[in-house]
Chain A
């Protein structure tokens, strides 16, 4: 279950923010990385994520309150106290509720994530893998603006966004749904990023599902003793991070310093 805490989807906060301000390019994309099926899959994944968040929000809020009460009652170190044991059992019961909700929702999540991953996989393999040489790929990424350095709006860095899961997918969906206005170079990077994200997410959901059964059994045993294990606290913290974001992860990357303006020279040797 500890792996649930690692279920953090690296997303492109910086890229998304940059994209939002990107001026639309007029050129029509010639590579098809986002067919309508991918757009629909992303929308569907966002909806499933939102449902899971809604279901978990209440139980996590309850867990927070119970944990606060446990601490305020100075139950740490007084586990033998009958009142503290009762509180611990209540926390354990809420924890079990959380695991149950996750167990119910994760299969849907896994299904939609896998659909998106498979659609993108096919697109990447055909469009970038089989139809392009490395030089053509490079030219696609650079977008014919090698000397203008205008591609600063392109998403490049992968990382956790620190935003809600459903919000991430919603943003992905919006990016992809309006991708017709973006250049091919952005699409290739965006598709790669989402694909690797889905790949990682799919694997982690799979592991999490395997762990939920074990964690549920352990907690059912703990219920009889009224114990709060460090694992429980860690898992709840992890789930909160996944679903509702992590402020620490919102690290910004500094932009490049302003360059020289006198760069109009173009050599006859340049390729």
Chain B
């Protein structure tokens, strides 16, 4: 009776052992997802690309941040292009959607604010959330300071973004006051 029971349990034990073996094998080959070590932006981008393709795509944010930090060490206008090409590559490889790639690029390297988007009119959409919108714009301005000023040496672009922020603040204050008065 005991022998019969053992024979029945054998396939289960073998299956469990196989699963454990497979899991152990996976653990030993998992990518480390270490950040790029080179201080050269192009080399760092190449390292990041190969890591991202080897299963580290969940760490995209960290890699982008690492690359920005490396670029800050050697700021120049050409860095803008390098980041654009890196994001286009990430989008082509399916690591990012096109919209995500645009967002990553524009938040750091464009004068316009991605946080000031919306499909509805300002009276109904922007004004009720004005403080939140302005807070998000302020955060984005810090990202632009990093991308435009510290990475790309685009002083004019950064000051224009800063000016745009102030203009939006003023125009929204007036527009939202006018919207509220018309209710």
Contacts and interface: CB of A to CB of B under 8 A. Distances in A.
Nearest to B101: A269
B154 to A, nearest CB: 5
B156 interface: yes
A187 to B, nearest CB: 10
Nearest to B169: A156
Interface in B71-118: 77-78, 80-81, 84, 87-88, 101-102, 105-106, 109-114, 116-118
B121 A129 contact: yes
A271 interface: yes
A253 to B, nearest CB: 11
B: contact size bracket: 35 or more
Given A130-B121, A152-B163, A267 B84 contact: yes
B106 A269 contact: yes
A269 B111 contact: no
Tell which of A134, A156, A196, A265 has the most Cβ of chain B within 10 Å. Answer: A134
Nearest to A138: B116
Contacts of A260: 77, 153-156
Interface stretch (A67-75, A83-91, A120-128, A212-220): A120-128
Contact of B174 (A130, A156, A157, A191): A191
Contacts of A120: 178
A259 B154 contact: yes
A134 B125 contact: yes
Interface string A133-157: 1110111011000110101101011
B144 to A, nearest CB: 12
Nearest to A199: B177
B155 A259 contact: yes
7 contacts: A124-B178, A129-B179, A134-B133, A139-B112, A193-B174, A196-B170, A260-B77
